[in-house]
A and B are shown apart, each in its own frame.
Chain A
């Protein structure tokens, strides 16, 4: 596969569930990002990993927990989410010192 892939593409979970979103990039990049896209807000940056270290956490609630085991993979672990967390979660990657970010197709998350 090429580019940035995300799994699953759709996820429905209850508020007491624990699930994980996965992102994989095949571009040789060394920075990865999680964004939240909801209907009434611009794209919101959640986390940034650069060279496998978390460099930014934009006041995201602790019920979202990112993990970056290597430069190609990024996870977002979810637990005890709220209905307002329902959104499209997008992963992106870029080259260190590169400006352009390449996005995956997103995971559509619904919290019931």
Chain B
């Protein structure tokens, strides 16, 4: 289930389960979205992206869903592994030329063996 920790919402799952991480974005004009994964002691790493003209995009073990009506983004991770434990951020992009990312607060995913 999902619970609010001291600083970040936390999702705790068992290894092998599917995980769903949710994100609400702020600007209906955003035209591009990215999910990042940040492990302890590291910078954010790109996972998957989606353009605003799409509803769904699949990668390896990950799927991103976009609902523009309610400004909601989700990241689904299939068969979650302990190595997936990290903080996950969604980011929306408003500008082209150079990209200005606006990050969400983040969700901590904890995977138990």
Contacts and interface: CB of A to CB of B under 8 A. Distances in A.
B100 A98 contact: no
Given A99-B34, A99-B49, A55 B98 contact: yes
Contact of A100 (B7, B46, B97): B46
Chain B contact residues: helix, strand, loop or mixed = loop
Interface size class of B (residues with CB under 8 A): 20 to 34
B89 A31 contact: no
Contacts of A50: 97-98
B24 interface: no
Contacts of A101: 46, 99, 101
Given A102-B46, A105-B41, A97 B97 contact: yes
B38 to A, nearest CB: 8
A88 to B, nearest CB: 9
Interface size class of A (residues with CB under 8 A): 20 to 34
Interface in A20-69: 31, 39-40, 42-43, 45, 48, 50, 55-56
A97 B104 CA distance: 22
B49 A100 contact: yes
Interface of B: 7, 32, 34, 36, 41-46, 49, 89, 93, 96-106
Given A101-B101, A105-B42, 10 more contacts: A42-B89, A42-B104, A42-B105, A48-B98, A96-B97, A97-B96, A99-B34, A99-B49, A100-B46, A100-B99
Contact of A99 (B36, B44, B93): B93
A74 interface: no
Contact of B100 (A56, A90, A102, A105): A56
A4 interface: yes
Given A42-B103, A43-B103, A100-B49, A105 B43 contact: yes
Contacts of B32: 99
